[in-house]
Amino acid sequence: MGDGGENLEELIRSVEDQIRRVEQKIDRVEVQIDGCRDDEEKKHLRHKEAQLRDEKAQLRNKEAQLRDEKAQLRDEKAQIRVQILQERDSIDHSAELLEGLLLPPVIELPQDGVGLARVLFPSWHGEQHGQLPVVNKTYLRIRNRFPKFAEEFLRVTDVSTLSMSLSSTLEEATIAPKSEMDVSYTVQGYLRRFFNACNEYSLDGATLDLTFNKSEKLSLSKSNATLSRKRPDTLGVMSQCTFLVGEDKLSDLSEAENGISLKMQPLNPRFYGDLRFILGYIAAGTKFQWVFIGKDRSLVRIEPLLDLAKIPNRILLILSIFNAFTLVRKMAEKIPPIPGRHAMFSSLVQGDCTIYFLNDSVRKKIKNFKSYCEATATDFNVVNRAYNDVKGSPYLPMVIEEPELGRGGDSYKVTIGPLGYSPRIRSEEDTKMLAKSVCNALKVLHEKGFVHRDVRLPNIVEITHGQFMLIDLETVAESPFFVHPSFHYLTDWSRDMLENSHYTPKSDMYQLGKLLGDKFATFTRSPSAQQFISRLMSKQVDANTALEDPWLKVDEEMSGM
């Protein structure tokens, strides 16, 4: 709070010390009074005690006054701070400066490494480029050392948030890294600072969400603890799609390149459409280089190789970051509009369950798996058998890496595919297709002797238009499943779905009927739809019979099945 606040703090502490000393004197006098036999002496001591208590009260009042002054001073400083911020905001031209730096939104997406280099480093190809806005002091210092470079790539502006950030970044010393974390810290500083500036000041509201140091293992066993089982160190996501990945190493740029090659996967055309590449980088020591990552995982290094220990190279990197933001913004406009997709290499945590999204598969991990099995009344053998018994069905997950228990059996993992997205239900026909897919999935499960027990919308994903998949086989049980009185019902369960205290295949059908009636009431108003739902919820039909229902007789060409 400045000198005034510090002085008040010292005065308050001094008064508190005085109060403690007075209290100690009062304690001593009270002890003397208790042991005194002389009435006159006792009277004198009581008078002294009263004086001390008055002194203590005065000190308390003084302390309260000082604290009030401190609070008032704090409020005054807060008001001044607000005024300063308001004044700064009224003259801060960061948004205007940023728009002057970004490439025009009409740029064509590059088709190869050469095209990417022209977008990121237009000055290297004789094309128009931006100039970083910096404060006058920074400009003069850099011009003294690099006059031509300063004149071409820098310009003096007023003191704004962006120009101050750029100036401090260009002038700060680069220390030789001693660990991989040091490299990551340096690179993250540039990416976070200037991509976030784009997020904050960009006028169209586009944002690139950055995630760093996401290299945790996606496997439980030591045998799989390889680079290919990790995610890249840096992820950049826009519109729920990964467009930027990066890898940091201590000193060897080739090692960073190998690392990102092992971790990358082909781009899924369902999510990336015709996009030919995503943007990547590799970093080691003070070196940084952008890379073109083709949809087939091929890598092409983009010149120039930058040394961040050199100020001219820092300027080029920052300019290329602004260009990269414009590029990613354009890439996000080109991908198929699929709400509910999950970005490649992202993760989703749901209690003890973590789901990692890869290019066309997901890896699911459950910690405390023993507790999970106890709560759901299932076990690993049942789940493992279910995944293997339903292989080949397009309506149920395909096992890519077999279910596996970790050491001690208290952790679980499985990798399954294909990768779907949240169902897009916009008509009665869409609703029929979803119902038909789920009936086909349940038909397979029931014929193999299992019940799913969790037929809810979160456990249904859309694979392609008109085809859906029932997921989450970790809830399966052998059929029929006896529901013990002490069993805690799963989500959305009710007594009505059971048959004589058993969860049966027709209980799964009941759940499907409830789902259709609750979540898709708008599209299930027709008499045939209502009759279908009624038959499901009255447990009149099994999956085979349901598939023959007139409501599900969708034109094969429309259903895509």
What's residue 3's pLDDT?
52
**Residues near 499 by Cβ (< 8 Å), separated by ≥ 6?**
480, 506, 507, 539
What's residue 218's pLDDT?
39
pLDDT (average), residues 19-31: 84
Total domains, the chain: 3
Are 100 and 220 found together in one domain? yes
The backbone region for 104, taken as left when phi is positive above 0, alpha when psi lies in -120 to 50, beta otherwise, is: beta
- Is residue 543 over pLDDT 60? yes
Q: At what angle do helices 161-171 and 180-201 cross, to 10 degrees?
A: 160
CATH number at residue 20: 1.20.58
Are 146 and 169 found together in one domain? yes
Are 387 and 305 found together in one domain? no
- Is residue 341, in this structure, part of any structural domain at all? no
Are 359 and 508 found together in one domain? yes
Choice between 486 and 75, residue whose per-residue pLDDT is larger: 486
Fill in the amino acid letter for 105: P
Lowest-confidence segment of 29-33, 296-300, 446-450 by average pLDDT: 29-33
Are 107 and 199 found together in one domain? yes
pLDDT band at 90, cuts 50/70/90? Answer: low
Lowest-confidence segment of 136-140, 323-327, 405-409 by average pLDDT: 405-409
* CA dist., res. 336 & res. 2, Å (int): 55
pLDDT (average), residues 541-545: 96
- Is residue 10, in this structure, part of any structural domain at all? yes
Are 364 and 282 found together in one domain? no
pLDDT band at 217, cuts 50/70/90? Answer: very low
**Residues near 348 by Cβ (< 8 Å), separated by ≥ 6?**
342, 354, 355, 357
What's residue 499's pLDDT?
95
Count of other CB atoms within 10 angstroms of residue 473: 28
Are 517 and 400 found together in one domain? yes
- Chain-wide mean pLDDT for the chain? 87
* CA dist., res. 33 & res. 39, Å (int): 10
- Is residue 285 over pLDDT 70? yes
CATH number at residue 546: 1.10.510.10
Query: Domain span at residue 9?
Result: 3-90
Are 25 and 135 found together in one domain? no
Are 236 and 296 found together in one domain? yes
- Is residue 74 over pLDDT 90? no
- Is residue 559, in this structure, part of any structural domain at all? no
Please tell me whether residue 328 adopts helix, strand or coil conformation. Answer: helix
Structure tokens of 286?
């003070």
What's residue 81's pLDDT?
54
Q: What percent of the residues of the chain are helix, what percent strand, and what percent coil, each to the nearest 5?
A: 50, 15, 30
- Is residue 315 over pLDDT 90? yes
- Is residue 65, in this structure, part of any structural domain at all? yes
- Is residue 339, in this structure, part of any structural domain at all? no
pLDDT (average), residues 530-550: 95
Are 22 and 108 found together in one domain? no
What would the pLDDT profile of 353-385 be if each residue is shown by its tens digit?
Answer: 999 999 889 999 999 999 999 999 999 999 999
What's residue 228's pLDDT?
38
pLDDT (average), residues 106-110: 79
